[in-house]
Structures are given as C-alpha cells and as structure tokens.
Structure 1
Amino acid sequence: MLCPLLYNRLKFIVLLLSALLAGTAGAETLLKRNVAYGNDEEQRFDVYAPPQAKGAPVILMVHGGGWQFGDKEMRRVVENKLARWVPKGFVFIAVNYRLLPKIGPLDQARDVARALAMAQELAASWGAERSKFILMGHSAGAHLVALLAARPELAAEQGASPWLGSILLDSGALDVPAIMGSRHLPLYDRAFGKDPAYWHAVSPFQQLSRPSSALLAVCSSQRQHACPEARRFVDKASQLGTRAAVLTQDLSHGEINQKLGEESDYTAAVEAFMRGLDKRVAQALK
C-alpha cells in the first residue's frame, strides 16, 4: 500500500494533469492547494483562479459523499466546473470538511461556514471580491449549504459574511425528520442518529424561518423523493420572500454533479439563475 503522503502527491499530480488537459491549469489557472481554515487536516480548500483576476465572483463548492466520504479533488466535483467557469473569470474553491464519525452534519456545516469566512478574508489576494460568493454543494454537501442558507447565523458565528446565493445539486436531505420517520438508507442513521431534536436542528426545511439569499434546488427526476422534497423546500422559501426555484433534471444523482459545466441546457439553466444574483456575475457569464 502507498503511504498517505505519496498517495496524496500522486492524487495532486493526477488532478493537475486532468486540469491541464481540460485547459484549466498551467498558464490559465492559479492553483493554491490545501489552504487551511482550521487545525484538522480535513479543514482545507483548494483555490483555482484566472490570472490577473480583479473583483472576480467566486463559486465555493462543497462535495458530497453521505457525510462520511468524498474529497475536494474528485474529478466529478471539479473538472467540468473548472473548465466552464474559471476561463469566464470566476474563482473556484473546492472545500473539504471533517467527516463522520469525527463530527456530525451540524458541525460539518460549521466547517463549511468557517471555510467560507477564511475564503472571504483571503479573496482579495486571489483577485476575488468577498461580497460575490456563490455557495454550491452536491448531495450531502448540498444539505450543508442548504442548512447554512436556512440558518445564516451558523455562518455569521464563524465570521462569514452574507453570500449571493446557494445552488443545491440534488440535496441528500432537506426535510430530515420526514426522512428519518420513513423507510431510509442506513447512511441517514449514521449521519443523524436517533434524537428527533437533532433531526430538527440539522433539517433545512424546519430551520427555514425567514428570507435568505437566493436558492436554486436542482433535483434528479430519477430519484423518487428528490424533486417533491425540493419543491416543498423552495415553496416554503418563496413564501418567506426568498427568490427560489427548482430545476428538475432527468439525470442520475451522480450526473447532476458530474455533468454541470458541460455545454448543455442544464448548465445554461444554472447560469441563468446565477446571472440574476449580481451584475458582476452576469457580466462574467455573457
């Protein structure tokens, strides 16, 4: 077996080669790897930025993996998104966070908030604008982003400033009590345990009680409960005064993540939402 240090170096080399082939590294992209936002080795993020960026908008991406697996360097997390948005002038940040069983989803959301706060603090050094962040997450990562959108005080407590909007890529959980009260996969028991009070505390639907930054919930029509759950969440957000929408896609749970950034109607629809967030974002997406 490879030692962890050699394994990580090999992963990094593979990532760089993939990015070069995609036209998103080398001369076109500045890569800062493993920027620390905490003391734990998992509290790290990678930064990809176009050269000579100035006032650039930022996409901060949170990977999925059932709250216990996943990594910021996975190809399906970064490749197509980098190829699409860094050449358009976006800074792209991919975040790791502490995983189960080390901590649970509530503290994972705090990790994402802490990463956001650190990225906002350092944004100017990458040519980015701290007020122009878009949060994006897939699966478990989308749940964490949705929880921060529903409970923005969690982000504020970690020093983060408000962000432009949140893009939820087929969230793993929006109504946690409903999931736990019905037949569900064992991964939810590992993530949320047996305490109904905790279910409520980490459930974006239950925590949503006031207007938030804009929301786009992408859902897979191939998953039975994904789109009805997304519509309920978006309907509640809209009733509270949030600009919120559902984007249904006939793609698998994994494809919702992997294919975003490809030239497609799906990517175009996500970008249409992004344009409405800010003039600078709209200018970059012309």
Structure 2
Amino acid sequence: MHSDRLQRRTFLLGTAVLALSPSLVAAQSTVMRGVPYGSHQLNTLDVYLPQIAQNAPLAIMVHGGAWKIGDKSNASVWRNKGRMFNDLGYIFISVNYRMLPEARPLRQAMDVARAIAFIQANAARWGGDARRSVVLGHSAGAHLVSLLASDPGLLRAGGAYPWNATVALDSAAYDVEEVMFGRPARFYRDAFGDDRAYWRAASPLARLGRERGPFLLVCSTKRLTACPNARDFATAVTARGGDAMVLPVALGHRKINTDLGKQNAYTESVLKFIRAQGLP
C-alpha cells in the first residue's frame, strides 16, 4: 500500500517527446545588469524585462560551476532561457553568489536566499508578481535551489518565502552524505570538506521537510549517477507528502543547461511542468 502510494505520487516523465510550439520566438527585452542585493561584489543579479510587464510571473535562475566558477551573465545561463521566459511574459532574473573558497555551499545558499528575498521585495516595481515564480538552477546551482526548497526555514533565514515550483537541472548532489561517503570528485571535497555534520547540513535530502513546493528534477541519461540520484530524491519528497517529477533527457550535463529554451521537446516538457503549477 505504502509503495503504491509513492508510485502514484512520484511522476516519472520519461524522455521528452512533445513538440514545442513555434510561437516561442525571441522578444525584445530591457536588461538591468549588476543590480546589487547585498554588499559583496558578487551579490548582484541581472533582470531581463519582457516588452510588457504587468503583474508578470518571475523566473529566477541560479548558475552552476562546481560552487567555485560561473557567472550570471554567461550566455549558457541566460540566453535561451531568458528569451523564452520573456516571450512568455515572465521577468527573468539571473543571480550571482559568492564562490569557493570564500564561501562554502551553505553560505552560497544564504546568498541565493537573500537574492530571492530582494527579488520578492522589488518585483512589483519591475512590473512583476512575486507570488507567481519558478526558481531554476543548474548543477551546483541546482543543489543550492534544491537545498532552499527542501528547508523553507533556511529560506526564511535569508528573508525570503517559498516559490511555486523548483526546476533542478542535472544535480547529482541531492544526498550530499552519500556522495561524500563514496569516492567523490575533487570539486566535491573542495566544496563540502571532511566534516560529516557539514555534509548533512548542506544536503537537500537531509534537510527535506514537509513544507516544500513541487520539484522537477531534470537528469542526464549520459551520466552514471544523475538519474538514480534524482529518482531517490523524488521518492523521499513523495514519502513526505510532496510532489516531485523526474525528467530524464538524452543530453549531456552542459547541454541540459544551454538547450533549455530552444525549440525542442525537452523545453516543452519543462514548460508543461511549470504550467501544471498554475504558472503561464
């Protein structure tokens, strides 16, 4: 009975096969670059406004880069996704945060929480509706947004409140303890160190509570652990009464980031999930 309930609540989308509407074309947008949300030079974000922004929903993107590199303004982070969301009437925001070695993942997550708090406080003056928002992250960024979505208490510590939907793009770090007890790559050791208490504190799975929005966990079928880890996390979410969907795609880690927003079945599957949460 319990297993049947988990099966019903965990929705495995499978490899995307839907066709994208040809109406998704790039629209002109106004960009506000380097908007500060904190005192550090990396506490900045870029805001991409659609042609008309009136109570517009928000799409917030957190870049990856092994917790030590990457930038909000890299084309792979914003170009296709920003154009797509602007065309759909969203305000698209790309977020920077402090990097290793200055800031470890928990501090980075707090930067992201403060960025989201700033966005929520300022959305109305940009023409946005902070109560309608999706948060996306790729790789390390997917870990950070999943961590915050798993524990709204951590999010509230940064002054923010939960959003409508989380899209995690190809993270393999939902269960940090399991990663670190194995034979992790050097960048994991650089990020999470040797302290087992820290592993648990920085693990979305360990912090998973009962207050969390729905997850879409996109994973690359070309990576050994990405989809199994996503499925395990989805099962844990549903066991706590939440909703999580796993979307396996036959794309590499980088292309999962760059190809979202292009006219393809993968993009349409992501949009289908977002629309199912009551967003445009």
Name the structure with the higher helix share: 1
Give the match for residue 243 of structure 2.
243
Give the counterpart letter for 1:79 in structure 2.
R
TM-score (norm 1): 0.87
The answer to whether 1:210 aligns with 2:214 is: no
Find the aligned partners of 1:191 and 1:96 in 2 and give their Cα distance: 17
Give the counterpart letter for 1:83 in structure 2.
R
Following TM superposition, by how much is the alpha carbon of 1:23 offset from its aligned partner in structure 2, in angstroms? 4.3
Instruction: Trace 1:33-44 onto structure 2 (pairs within 5 A).
Output: 33-44=33-44
Give the match for residue 56 of structure 2.
56
Following TM superposition, by how much is the alpha carbon of 1:52 offset from its aligned partner in structure 2, in angstroms? 2.9
Find the aligned partners of 1:105 and 1:245 in 2 and give their Cα distance: 25
Give the match for residue 14 of structure 2.
none
Find the aligned partners of 2:52 and 2:254 in 1 and give their Cα distance: 34
Aligned length in residues: 256
Q: Deviations over 1:145-187 (max 9, x none)?
A: 0000111111111111221010000014111111111112100
- Following TM superposition, the consecutive aligned residue runs of length 4 or more in structure 1 with deviations greater than 6 angstroms are none
The answer (yes or no) to whether the contact 2:172–2:225 under 8 Å persists in 1 is no
The answer (yes or no) to whether the contact 1:211–1:237 under 8 Å persists in 2 is no
Give the match for residue 19 of structure 2.
none
Give the match for residue 92 of structure 1.
92
The answer (yes or no) to whether the contact 1:214–1:243 under 8 Å persists in 2 is yes
Unaligned runs of 5+ in 2: 1-24
Give the match for residue 131 of structure 1.
131
Instruction: Trace 1:1-286 onto structure 2 (pairs within 5 A).
Output: 23-24=26-27, 28-278=28-278, 281-282=279-280
Following TM superposition, by how much is the alpha carbon of 1:51 offset from its aligned partner in structure 2, in angstroms? 2.7
1:156 aligned counterpart, secondary structure: helix
Unaligned runs of 5+ in 1: 1-21
Higher relative contact order (CA 8 A, sep 6+): 2
Q: What RMSD in Å do the two structures reach over aligned CA positions?
A: 1.1
1:86 aligned counterpart, secondary structure: helix
Give the counterpart letter for 1:108 in structure 2.
Q
Find the aligned partners of 2:159 and 2:100 in 1 and give their Cα distance: 24
Give the counterpart letter for 1:269 in structure 2.
S
Find the aligned partners of 1:65 and 1:160 in 2 and give their Cα distance: 24
Q: Deviations over 1:215-265 (max 9, x none)?
A: 000000111000000000011101211121000001000011000001111
The answer (yes or no) to whether the contact 1:104–1:192 under 8 Å persists in 2 is yes
